[in-house]
Amino acid sequence: MHQIESDTVTPVLVELTRGDLVEVRHRGYACVVNSEGEVIYAKGDPDFKTYLRSAAKPFQAAAVILSGAAARFNLEDREIAILAGSHGGESFHTQLVAKILAKGGLTLANLQCGTHPPLDDVARHNLVRNGEKATTLHHNCSGKHAGMLLTALHNETSIENYLDPEQPGQRLVKKVIAETAGVDEGEIVVAIDGCSAPVHGISIKAIARLFARLIRPVGLDQELAAALTRVALAMRKYPEMVAGSRGRICTEIMKIGLDCEVTGKAGAEGVYGVGWFDAKSSVGLGLAVKMEDGQQRGRDPVTLKILQKFGVMPEELPEDLKPMAAEKLTNWQGKIIGNTIVTV
């Protein structure tokens, strides 16, 4: 039975209580579709458009495969996984990105993603303790950018302009997103992401279908289907490359949900996309979450609760995922002072 709720007012998906009062409300959208694009479940308007942000990375990685660059530069599954990831800047991440660049005779100087401190706390503290500064390799998008650079090299186009939306590699990314989501390219809103790459805006239900077809790419061209399948397999095989070795929801859910091929990717500003294989219906299902306030604090509990609702995550979450669900709010003394109530 389909469960669809839509309202002109964005629904409250999460309430945080302190004592007897609701102190915080997080509004947002959530939608589950199958590979055919049928909406199975929705909170809020499934047609609401938002940017994919880093949830686009699996499909940007698929474009690297489709272009022929992955084969030409002999990219391994670990490398495909980090192309599809938002890594934490741990040493094994930066070393792998440097290795990918070296395959094309490139260096970190060619990356145009910018620089920020590592997302991983330990990696960030290690830099400070050693008196070192972050480089472009530490940027969580450096793997994606390395793949885009290799695509530009393979296409014999300008590596200085590899982020230009009119570059063949970027046009291919847009085509991959359009075909996989089942939308016309003209419907996609293109802007600039935080890392300076093109970012794509589509509906919540289209984002969900992207991830359903990442798992079961039915109705797609054979080469595109093969590229999506390879990306999804690489992400599940090397989940630490998609995010990190600790405290990251993407890595943790892919460690746990192997039986249903769960494959997830977070995006900035409260976006999450995840796909899995539903054994009951023998189809791929995809979930898209977007929090109106852009907060991870609301996004992660909503994502986990819906995955539990669909039997993807166990009723009793593993210890590494419990902090992300944050069912009990505690203060600095460890006292329980409130609750996280997810209404999905």
Mean pLDDT of 237-252: 96
What is the per-residue pLDDT for 326? Answer: 84
46-55 pLDDT tens trace: 999 999 999 9
Any residues with CB less than 8 A from the CB of 132 and at least 6 apart, and which? none
Residue 43 pLDDT > 60: yes
pTM equals 0.95
175-35-262 Cα angle (round to 5) = 100
Among candidate residues 239, 277, 268, 275, the one with its CA nearest the CA of residue 255? 239
Q: Residue 271 and residue 292: Cα distance in Å, rounded?
A: 9
What is the per-residue pLDDT for 4? Answer: 46
Return the CA Rg of the chain.
19
Q: List beta partners, residue 28.
A: 291
Residue 288 pLDDT > 50: yes
**CATH number corresponding to 3-342:** 3.40.710
Residue 162 pLDDT > 70: yes
State the pLDDT confidence band at 8, using cuts at 50, 70 and 90. low
State the pLDDT confidence band at 9, using cuts at 50, 70 and 90. confident
Residue 158 pLDDT > 90: yes
What is the per-residue pLDDT for 192? Answer: 97
Residue 3 pLDDT > 70: no
Location of structure tokens 């996309």: 273
What is the per-residue pLDDT for 2? Answer: 45
Structure token pair of residue 334 = 């460890």
Residue 304 pLDDT > 50: yes
What is the per-residue pLDDT for 1? Answer: 36
What is the per-residue pLDDT for 257? Answer: 62
| Residue 316 zone, left/alpha/beta (φ > 0; ψ -120 to 50; rest) | beta
